[in-house]
């Protein structure tokens, strides 16, 4: 079985931040994006790489985890479109 090494995280709120922190502490290569720059910088201090857009997260990662509140169909479509460019 192949191991996934590069993980992307979009959304660093109440759920996303602790999950991303644990992955970073476990040694995974983590790229993160959030609208809140403070949340991103907190993960960067733990070793994650900051992305400036969801698309950049998708370009760097093998797997992307999206954890945002109340993701509507319209928001979901916007994130998918943004990841594609």
* Residue 82 CB partners (closer than 8 Å, separation 6+): 53, 54, 55
pLDDT score recorded for residue 71: 60
pTM over 0.85: no
- Of 17, 3, 2, 6, give the one whose Cα is nearest residue 63: 6
pLDDT in tens, 5-40: 899 999 999 999 999 999 999 989 999 999 999 999
Domain boundaries, the chain: 6-84
pLDDT above 90 for 81: no
Least confident of 25-29, 41-45, 71-75: 71-75
Token output for 3: 């191991």
pLDDT in tens, 54-65: 999 999 999 999
Q: Which CATH number fits domain 6-84: 3.40.50.300, 3.30.310.10, 3.30.70.20, 3.40.50.720?
A: 3.40.50.720
């Amino acid at each position: 079985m192949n191991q996934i090494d590069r993980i992307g995280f979009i959304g660093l709120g109440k759920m996303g931040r602790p999950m991303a922190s644990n992955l970073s502490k476990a040694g995974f290569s983590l790229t993160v994006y959030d609208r809140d720059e403070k949340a991103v910088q907190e993960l960067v201090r733990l070793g994650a790489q900051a992305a400036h857009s969801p698309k950049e997260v998708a370009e760097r990662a093998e797997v992307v985890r999206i954890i945002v509140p109340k993701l509507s169909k319209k928001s979901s479509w916007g994130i998918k479109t943004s990841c594609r460019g």
